[in-house]
Structure 1
Amino acid sequence: MAITKWIFLSLTMMMTLTLTLTHDQQVPCFFIFGDSQSDNGNNNPLITNAKADYRPYGIDFPGAVPTGRFTNGKNMADFLAELLGFSDSIPPFVAAQGSAILKGLNYASGAAGILDSSGINLGDRFCMNRQLQNHMATIDQIAALLGNQTAADIYLRQCLNVVNIGGNDYINNYYQPPPSSSSSLTPDAFADELIATFSLQLRSLYDLGSRKVAVFGVGLIGCIPQEISLYPITNGSPCVDSINIAAGLFNDRLVSLINDLNTNLPNAQFTYINVTSIALGGPSLIGVKVLDAPCCEVQKAGAAAGQCLPDGAVCGNRDEYIFFDNFHPTQISYSMMASRAYRASLPTDTSPVDIERLVRQ
């Protein structure tokens, strides 16, 4: 069954990876674009129901404090920063200032989507277009810090950019009850709309000076507890297969888009992170037992349904759970996913290269 094949890098391989990493920072700066899988505090000041600035979120984060990360501890952006040799996590856009921005910024925002309208049901958020606008403002500041735009351009070409967005365009748009304006489209037509918009956004990122860009596909969102609770499961599958199939249509188009960008944009180095391959193939996650239920007590109704209940109960065996709430993985899941994105375990995990090779090119 698909959910029982949720596979990640083994603890043994993770230890080997840690031991062979250099302590030197592999890129001068790291910029993160995305949604709640990467958000580390950007949504805290916003008027939105997509917030994680309360316990039990952050229960396993250093200091056991909620920071706005939608998990029990560190998220995937944090682990990628560690693998890249950064001594600290990349700061959120809303909190960074001064020369700290030279190491990069995290623009990710819970409920954000490729489409401006995705996630509007939850309130304010920095959609992908707004994240790009924020990055433009950051580039102006970097140019001022380095003395001129030419110096900033040279600097930015060496940096890594990670884009992990698209799930909310399905969860909080296409499949959002009651039906959204997008739901009248066929899954193929909606995937076409998403890719057309995403193509413009990735090209804008290139035009802003980015050259090394890792783009994550949409994962098996039909297997998250919230979607399983909302939609009927057929043919004995443990997941909502129709949602996974629809997301797969987008991923297929994204692979073609990445190839097109690399072919037609001078010096472009885009790569695709195949989250589905990471989920379904390779060594197993040792010790994980609970695959389709949240670790925290979740809110049952309202706009924040599926997120952790404030000060609610939380499981003690968090490293045995895939999901922390009804939407978001646990820290252990994020660590394994980041490891496979950084250093592919299977040839299908990334295309054309993994992040480790991308930053060395």
Structure 2
Amino acid sequence: MSSLDMASKYQASIFLVFTATLLVAVNGVPQVPCYFIFGDSLMDNGNNNHLHTNSKVNFPPYGIDFPDGPTGRFSNGRNIADVIAQLLGFENFIQPFATARSDEIIKGVNYASGGAGIREESGQHMGERISLNNQIKNHRITILRLILLVGRGSLVATRKYLHKCMYTVGMGNNDYINNYFVPEYYKTSSLYSPEEYALLLVEQYSQQLQALYTYGARKFGVFAAGYSGCTPGMMAIYGMNSCVDSINNAIVLFNTLLNTTLNDLNNKYPDAKFIYIDASLQYPTDLNITDKPCCEVSSSIDGKGNCIPDHIPCSNRKNYVFWDAFHPTERVSIIGGTQAYKRLSPLYASEAISLLIDNDQSHVSDV
């Protein structure tokens, strides 16, 4: 390809992103018709509220900066999926599967569950959670409802609708910090080396992503696992004042394999796009990079690492990275969500142009 052709291609891509952004600002049309979210506590917005689990946070001070108060989000405010939804132009937050009504699922569903993992047993010592396999089963239930709502009884028409939707998936964190690195509850670390375990996880993850493809998903944003060894909770468990290298090194193995696998899936399914979203963030200088969470956290087995109910958190929340012992503040979610949104631009730009032409929706929300 000549330098002139490359320049033209670059200019075209910039034009698409610009037009997509302009579409939201001027016409109020979401850049994709619907957004489906799969993940763990970093994206859960209420699916765990009625489960028998220690991994739920529908009490203050959680939600202290969220318009509706404590909703089940593991944050003082919005989580990363909320930020992405707003940047995509949705007027309302994507609703959790547990409570979403029929008129809401047309815009998408959040299936994420605190404590959930790629493996079925991950997080089971904390109680009930909705594993990725079960989140995918819940998505099948949603599709059956959508057949009547958008497909007029046609599965083919419904799948065409799903082809246009955004899918983000963020799993793997609990397969390490609530499985592999908790030998008192799980045998995985004695059965598999870190290399073997990463390969096992990514192979299963690939099958799960391909199941979503079979059901109609075509636009995938797949998050790398976070560097959990740097959370206050894991540093406290290991009695360290710095990141736990053994955990982060294992997660690097997983992320490297995941990135390679997504490239393989792109080659296998040319009509789909699998985008890898890195876990590393660029923080502004005013953020307090510390192992201390903003809220006072519980040390009891019941709710270990969660904010103590009704305790007053720090007042300068915008300057903290960690809200509790494992989860980021809203400020960090805004940074991460914005970076993810930019990374996802190949998935929403072309769709936004199509929606601009159709101009049959009017929804907007700003971060």
Provide TM-score, normalisation by structure 1.
0.87
| Correspondence for 1:59 | 64
| Correspondence for 2:324 | 325
RMSD: 1.7
Shift of 1:360: 2.1
Matched, 1:162 2:151: no
Aligned 1:297-316 pairs, distance under 5 A: 297-316=296-315
Flag as ranges the 4+ runs of structure 1 deviating above 2 A: 19-24
Matched, 1:210 2:217: yes
Residues 125 and 185 in structure 2, CA contact (< 8 A), matched pair in contact too: no
Shift of 1:301: 1.8
Partner SS state of residue 220, structure 2: strand
Name stretches of at least 5 consecutive residues in structure 1 with no aligned partner: 1-15, 344-353
User: Of 87, 90, 96, which aligns to 1:86?
Assistant: 90
Counterpart code for 1:158: K
Counterpart code for 1:312: H
Shift of 1:241: 1.0
Structure whose CA Rg is larger: 2
Shift of 1:219: 1.4
| Correspondence for 2:72 | 68
| Correspondence for 1:267 | 271
Query: What does the per-residue CA deviation read over 1:157-213, in whole Å, with 9 as the maximum and x for residues that have no partner?
Result: 000000011100001000125151111111001101101110110000100100000
Counterpart code for 1:326: A
Matched, 1:251 2:255: yes
| Correspondence for 1:285 | 284
Matched, 1:31 2:36: yes
Q: Distance in 1 between matches of 2:221 and 2:312?
A: 36
| Correspondence for 2:198 | 191
Shift of 1:290: 4.3
| Correspondence for 1:225 | 232
| Correspondence for 2:295 | 296
Residues 26 and 85 in structure 1, CA contact (< 8 A), matched pair in contact too: yes
Q: Distance in 2 between matches of 1:96 and 1:58?
A: 20
Query: What does the per-residue CA deviation read over 1:113-146, in whole Å, with 9 as the maximum and x for residues that have no partner?
Result: 0000000011001100000000001001101112
Q: Distance in 2 between matches of 1:266 and 1:208?
A: 16
Counterpart code for 1:360: A
Identity %: 45
Query: What does the per-residue CA deviation read over 1:259-314, in whole Å, with 9 as the maximum and x for residues that have no partner?
Result: 010001240111000112xx2xx4x4242124211111100121421111111231
Shift of 1:97: 1.6
Q: Distance in 2 between matches of 1:34 and 1:239?
A: 24
Aligned 1:95-106 pairs, distance under 5 A: 95-106=99-110
| Correspondence for 2:188 | 182
Provide TM-score, normalisation by structure 2.
0.86
Query: What does the per-residue CA deviation read over 1:308-327, in whole Å, with 9 as the maximum and x for residues that have no partner?
Result: 11112311111111000000
Residues 121 and 303 in structure 1, CA contact (< 8 A), matched pair in contact too: no
Q: Distance in 2 between matches of 1:337 and 1:266?
A: 28
Partner SS state of residue 290, structure 2: strand
Q: Distance in 1 between matches of 2:249 and 2:131?
A: 24
User: Of 130, 144, 156, which aligns to 1:150?
Assistant: 156
Residues 232 and 240 in structure 1, CA contact (< 8 A), matched pair in contact too: no
Q: Distance in 1 between matches of 2:256 and 2:290?
A: 26
Counterpart code for 1:355: L
Shift of 1:342: 1.0
Q: Distance in 2 between matches of 1:212 and 1:242?
A: 33
Q: Distance in 2 between matches of 1:305 and 1:24?
A: 42
Aligned 1:4-19 pairs, distance under 5 A: none
Q: Distance in 2 between matches of 1:214 and 1:268?
A: 11
Matched, 1:239 2:243: yes
| Correspondence for 1:6 | none
Name stretches of at least 5 consecutive residues in structure 2 with no aligned partner: 1-17, 351-367
